[in-house]
Amino acid sequence: MIKLAAHLEINFGKGVSFGERWKAAKRGGFRGCEFVWRNADLSEAVELQKTAPLAVSCLGGTTGGVAGARPVLVLPEDRERLAKDAEAAVAYAGTLSCSNLIMVAGSSIPGWSLEKHRQEAVASLRYIAPILEAAGVTALIEPLNSKVDHKGAYCDTAAEGLRIVQLAESPNVKLLYDAYHMQIMGEDHSGVIRANHALIGYYHLAKVPGRTEPIGGEIDYDALLEVIGETGYDGFIGLEYKPSGEYSTAFERLGSTYPAYM
């Protein structure tokens, strides 16, 4: 059965410790969570999973948007570093019984064609596929909207994300379908999901416009959740939103609106 997962970073404001965010998600009725693995001490997460049990549905942070602290998926010079980070990420994930890592394709490189970006992204994924497959962990390629939040993003449509997934030719590379990003890019959610559900490994939700909790707005999430369920998907769906008010109030609203998925 589909279950909603809290995002332990974006669902909270500043000044709330990782441990309190985890416990607040548990108190809020969630059975799963996601977060950026680089930002949380593994030993603390292990202890929290024992004392306030939550499944870790996926982990972000393995790749970044621009060259710098994190390797960029499309940069060939980052490929060795990506492999090392993938090894660290799958080890972290395995300790928490998590089987998903979010990866973004990065910002467009000036002078590169769309095909060049795609070629390099696929080459990087094929390079780390043995690491993923040996660990039983899936890389989730997340297209980001390039109109509002991530101007300059290379992979900004479901179609491009799906091309990368197909060309990677690994069962451990799938698409992360973020309904917020794809609504901004004008996607036909039901059509894309029904036609490509076998290639989709995870979902994110947030309200459009505003990127607050997914209640109201342009997307009929009751209907969309039904469509996702009809495909046979029965995993977690991440709530990657910024609360419209206090995080605890947002959790209460979500519990009241989607009791069947908490």
Which pLDDT score is estimated for 258? 98
Q: What is residue 36's predicted lDDT score, i.e. its pLDDT?
A: 98
Spatial CA neighbour of 171 closest among 133, 134, 135? 133
Query: Please, what sign has the CA dihedral across residues 238, 241, 243, 247?
Result: positive
Residue 200 in tokens: 């989709």
pTM (2 decimals)?
0.97
Give the per-residue pLDDT at 26: 98
156 Cβ contact list (under 8 Å, min separation 6):
143, 144, 145, 146, 150, 181, 185
What does the pLDDT read at residue 61? 96
What pLDDT tens digit does each residue of the chain (262 aa) get?
999 999 999 999 888 999 999 999 999 999 999 999 999 999 999 999 999 999 999 999 999 999 888 999 999 999 999 999 999 999 999 999 999 999 999 999 999 999 999 999 999 999 999 999 999 999 999 999 999 999 999 999 999 999 999 999 999 999 999 999 999 999 999 999 999 999 999 999 999 999 999 999 999 999 999 999 999 999 999 999 999 999 999 999 999 999 999 9
Give the phi and the psi of residue 55 in degrees, each rounded to 5.
-75, 145
Place of tokens 């769906």: 237
What's the pLDDT at 14? Answer: 85
**pLDDT (0 to 100) of residue 54:** 98
Sign of CA dihedral 46, 48, 50, 53: negative
Q: In the prediction, which pLDDT does 259 show?
A: 97
Q: With respect to CATH, is domain 3-261 assigned 3.20.20.150?
A: yes
> What pLDDT shows up at residue 67?
87
User: Coil, strand or helix: which one is 225?
Assistant: helix
Residues 6+ apart with CB under 8 A from 149: 181, 184, 211
Distance (Å, rounded) from C-alpha 182 to C-alpha 189?
A: 8
**pLDDT score for 69:** 87
* Domain residue ranges in the chain: 3-261
| Cα 260 to Cα 62, 210, 251, distances in angstroms | 32, 25, 14
Cα dist. 9→66, 174, 219, 223 in Å? 20, 23, 23, 27
Q: C-alpha angle with apex 97: 96 to 99, nearest 5 degrees? A: 115
- The two tokens of residue 41 are 């001490």
User: Which pLDDT score, from 0 to 100, does residue 72 have?
Assistant: 98
Evaluate whether 177 touches 157 at the Cβ level (below 8 Å). no
Catalytic residue set? 142, 240
